[in-house]
Chain A
Amino acid sequence: DAKTTQPPSMDCAEGRAANLPCNHSTISGNEYVYWYRQIHSQGPQYIIHGLKNNETNEMASLIITEDRKSSTLILPHATLRDTAVYYCIVRVGGDMRFGAGTRLTVKP
């Protein structure tokens, strides 16, 4: 599976959009992009995934660039409860390999 690169930490003001970037320049054509988050002392929570097209669900939006070498997870109106470590993973299937992720801190 391709490797991903994420900034180690980001801050966001409460009520504003949080935009979390991820680089996956070696992604192959059949690899999907997944986003998870982990709130302290809990299991990772699945957020969203996509292949080529932008995706949106009740939690977030996923924007994938046309060349698929990077993506952005958007939390449209961040709340204090969105403070967590966010993981970007690329995968075809099978198990998932987690990196260090981005620690997002939402501030009041």
Chain B
Amino acid sequence: SQTIHQWPATLVQPVGSPLSLECTVEGTSNPNLYWYRQAAGRGLQLLFYSVGIGQISSEVPQNLSASRPQDRQFILSSKKLLLSDSGFYLCAWSVGTGPSPLHFGNGTRLTVT
């Protein structure tokens, strides 16, 4: 069966520090991968999605970037964190271009101080 792993679960970082969040999927090949962010008390906002290695689409211009160095690995990065980057970051995967649902990881709660 397929599983998705995100780490770390929680992270506290100072303003101006770099960020790297990692997501890996097991049990499937060539998944579509997604990064979402959820601010406190708000809905989910799509940040990036990828349909293959090295293929990244950005939904919202911001202080963050994403990379997909391997088929089942998706990384969210920042060179210098802002206070507004605080939130709950979620990785998700799906397969194909049809109606298969997205499956989410357990998320990383990032607090920028």
A98 and B46 alpha carbons, distance in the complex (Å): 9
Q: Does B27 contact A (CB under 8 A)?
A: no
Q: A43-B90, A44-B44, A98-B43 are in contact. Are A93 and B99 (CB under 8 A)?
A: yes
11 additional contacts, CB 8 Å, given A43-B107, A95-B34, A95-B59? A32-B99, A41-B107, A41-B109, A43-B92, A46-B101, A49-B99, A92-B99, A93-B96, A95-B102, A98-B36, A100-B43
A-B contact list, 8 entries, CB within 8 Å: A41-B88, A43-B107, A46-B101, A93-B97, A94-B49, A95-B59, A96-B102, A98-B44
A32 and B98 alpha carbons, distance in the complex (Å): 10
A41 and B109 alpha carbons, distance in the complex (Å): 8
Q: Does A51 contact B (CB under 8 A)?
A: yes
A:15-65 near B, CB below 8 Å? 32, 34, 41-46, 49, 51
Q: Which residues of A contact B107 (CB under 8 A)?
A: 41-43
Q: A32-B99, A98-B43 are in contact. Are A44 and B49 (CB under 8 A)?
A: no
Shortest CB distance B61–A (Å): 17
Instruction: Give the interface SS of chain A, mostly helix, strand, loop or mixed.
Output: loop
Interface residues of A (CB under 8 A from B): 32, 34, 41-46, 49, 51, 91-101
Q: Which residue of B lies closest to A45 (CB)?
A: B104
Q: Which residue of B lies closest to A98 (CB)?
A: B44
Q: Does B65 contact A (CB under 8 A)?
A: no
- Please name the 5 residue pairs, one residue from A and one from B, whose CB atoms are nearest each other, closest first: A43-B104, A98-B44, A32-B99, A46-B101, A44-B104
Shortest CB distance B81–A (Å): 21
Shortest CB distance B93–A (Å): 11
When each residue 56-93 of chain B gets 1 if its CB lies under 8 Å from chain A and 0 otherwise, what string results? 00010000000000000000000000000000101010
Q: Which residue of A lies closest to B97 (CB)?
A: A93
Contact check, B43 vs A49: say whether CB atoms are below 8 A apart. Answer: no
Q: Which residues of B contact A41 (CB under 8 A)?
A: 88, 107, 109
Contact check, B99 vs A51: say whether CB atoms are below 8 A apart. Answer: yes
Q: Which residues of B contact A99 (CB under 8 A)?
A: 43
